Amino acid sequence: MFKNLIELTKVRIGFLVLTTTIIGFYLGAQGKIDNMLLLFTVIGTLLSSTGSSVMNNVIESESDKLMDRTKNRVLPTKKISLNFAKFIGISFIIVGLLILYFKVNFLTCMLSLLTIILYLFLYTPLKRESWLNTSVGAIPGAIPPLGGWTAATNSLEWGGIAVFLILFFWQHPHFYSIAYMYKEDYKNAGLQMLPVIDNGIKRTVLHIFLHALILIPISTLPFFLGVSGRVYFVGAYILSNIYMLFCLPFILEQNKDNARLIFKTSIYYFPLLLFLIVADLRV
């Protein structure tokens, strides 16, 4: 049962959300950490994000049955009932938002609520309607570090927005590579991912190229905004160019191996960039 709950709550996604939230908090606090405030931020964010992941699983349980990579998840296989999953998801969301509201601040609570609304009520249903779902989904995916920033500062500032933009543009090559690798699965499930639609492969190539290219200057924003120093600037510039470089094989030849190369590179890119941000924080 415990293993099934771990799968239902998507722990790996939760770990990424928490990591980016903590980075945003650390940047906003300029290294002066209020440990109790950080603790409540982490708990509230973890519960609300986990709850929304569970509810996403509930909403997509039928389409998950139609895809090879998801058909063995706990809800399609009925290892966990839909009603129990709904109870867990809604409870986590409510408790998480209450913690953020009463123990952190109103602004962070509202950002978390906005994330949930965009994720469950716009991105998830849009997957059946339009290839734009990836860009829409990248918005709630990029909000956690901004929420961490507002938790520490109780204000929206350019430093937090810069990390939001980095995460927003990073997600596109990452998720388009996944969409290409599993395009037949998405097609069978009736999901309108970009590689599935007419002329979608060429457009996928274009979007991967443009987002990876734009990420190069975007990744250096923390330096120009005075959040990070020169070590970060040089490191971010090099990392983003490497990310772009590893997108080129897919741009030149579209196959699963080249798409997988983008995916693997994206997995290494973001943690390394976050490390640079923290290591070269201007206090």
Per-residue pLDDT of 183-193, as tens digits, reads 999 998 889 99
Structure tokens at 249: 């094989």
**Sequence spans of domains, the chain:** 1-156, 157-283
Asked if pLDDT for residue 144 goes beyond 90, the answer is yes
Helix (H), strand (E) at residue 100: none
Buried-exposed string 183-196: b where 16+ CB fall within 10 A, e elsewhere = bebbbebebbbbbb
Q: Are 75 and 58 in contact (CB under 8 A)?
A: yes
What local confidence, expressed as pLDDT, does residue 4 receive?
66
Calculate the average pLDDT of the chain: 92
When mean pLDDT is compared across 22-31, 33-42, 175-184, the lowest value belongs to 22-31
Q: Are 31 and 22 in contact (CB under 8 A)?
A: no
Asked if pLDDT for residue 280 goes beyond 90, the answer is no
Q: Are 58 and 181 in contact (CB under 8 A)?
A: no
Tokens 């990424």 found at:
16
Q: Are 85 and 58 in contact (CB under 8 A)?
A: yes
Counting beta carbons within 10 angstroms of the beta carbon of residue 78, is it exposed (0 to 12), middle (13 to 18) or buried (19 or more)? exposed
Residue 108 burial (CB count, 10 A): 28
In the three-class reduction of DSSP (H, G, I as helix; E, B as strand; rest coil), residue 6 is classed as helix
What local confidence, expressed as pLDDT, does residue 282 receive?
60
Q: Which amino acid is at 239?
A: L
CA–CA distance, 210 with 167 (Å, rounded to integer): 15
Tokens 């507002």 found at:
150
CA–CA distance, 202 with 176 (Å, rounded to integer): 12
What local confidence, expressed as pLDDT, does residue 106 receive?
98
Asked if pLDDT for residue 2 goes beyond 90, the answer is no
Asked if pLDDT for residue 1 goes beyond 70, the answer is no
Range 1-156: architecture per CATH: Orthogonal Bundle (1.10)
pTM, two decimals, is 0.92
Asked if pLDDT for residue 283 goes beyond 70, the answer is no
